[in-house]
Copies of this chain bind each other. A is one copy, B any other.
Amino acid sequence: MFGAIEAGGTKFVCGIGTGPEDLEIVQIPTTTPGSTVGAVIDFFLKSKAQIKSAGIGSFGPVDLHPDSPAFGYITSTPKPGWRDFNLAGAIAAALNVPVGFETDVGAAALGECRWGAATGLTDFVYLTVGTGIGGSAIVNGSVLHGLVHSEMGHIRIPHDLAADPFPGSCPFHGDCFEGLASGPAIQARWGIPANQLPQHHEAWKLEAHYLALGLASLVCTLSPRRIVIGGGVMQQQHLFIQVRKELPRLLNGYIQARELTDRVDTYIVPPKLGNRSGVLGALVLAEAALSRKH
């Protein structure tokens, strides 16, 4: 049995199991590190199942470099109490098992890769569009880290102020991808929460356009074999249909691959693991942590 932790800004999802069939899950609200992580540790220590290792997919920014003194830390978050908190270290010390550590979106990508919408693919992108926009790229079978990790929500995209005078909601960049296309951006622009906007509201055409602009840049930089898009905003199923039309229109035949033309229905897809992508990906991280130890 492995332990899995999806550490989110509003809740921690903890699970014990080996895969989608047997994973048992609890949710713990995110309050202070002491209280939340204390409850997480309690859950694993009191469980009858003995876990051999644990995996964590965490909200960030996080330090992913095994050779860094801050490896396993949540770093510069504005979230009170969590800044510079050694999350992986706290879990490893309390449970006395090897611990794998990744971003929340990196874990979700690994989950979808193993059991979900990207099985068999060594190169794809997992994107989430909800309260923020985040993404992770799997390249040659591994999560792309590089200098820090991807921050796909903060790429800049064209913004026609005449057509859409909304200045954007990102406190750092104003009208970056997240500032224009996240759930809070939709709500601030139209004055109505995204999940209450009717399907034929003009909001969705604009949203599909911004999403396609963001995807176009991901396609031109990361050349993924598929893009899996989850998150609250993407609960609007019709958005997939619109984005699948808008992305090929924007690319305009430049990148010649059938995945981007007549096969776009299987190129831009929702996650198959629903809201369990992250916690299942944390299981994958736990497995990898154990095999590194042996």
Q: Give me the interface of A with B, judged by CB distance under 8 Å.
A: 61, 75-76, 123, 135, 137, 139-140, 142, 144-159, 172-173, 175, 213, 216-225, 250-257, 259-260
Known contacts A156-B158, A173-B254, A217-B217; is-contact A150 B222 (Cβ 8 Å): yes
Residue picked from A151, A152, A155, most chain B C-beta under 10 Å: A155
Cα separation A221 to B153 with both chains bound (whole Å): 9
B216 touches A172 (CB 8 A): no
Q: Give how many copies assemble into the complex.
A: 2
* Min CB–CB distance A56 → chain B (angstroms): 20
Which chain B residues lie closer than 8 Å to A135 at the CB level? 221
B154 touches A220 (CB 8 A): yes
Residue picked from A151, A221, A224, most chain B C-beta under 10 Å: A221
12 contacts between A and B (CB under 8 A): A123-B145, A146-B222, A147-B223, A151-B220, A154-B220, A155-B216, A155-B217, A155-B221, A156-B213, A157-B158, A172-B252, A173-B254
Cα separation A191 to B254 with both chains bound (whole Å): 27
Cα separation A75 to B221 with both chains bound (whole Å): 19
Q: Which 9 A-B pairs have the closest CB atoms?
A: A146-B223, A123-B146, A155-B217, A172-B254, A139-B139, A221-B221, A151-B220, A76-B256, A155-B220
- Additional A-B contacts beyond A146-B223, A150-B220 (17; CB < 8 A): A123-B144, A123-B145, A139-B146, A146-B225, A148-B223, A148-B255, A150-B223, A153-B220, A154-B216, A154-B251, A154-B254, A155-B221, A156-B157, A157-B158, A172-B254, A173-B252, A217-B217
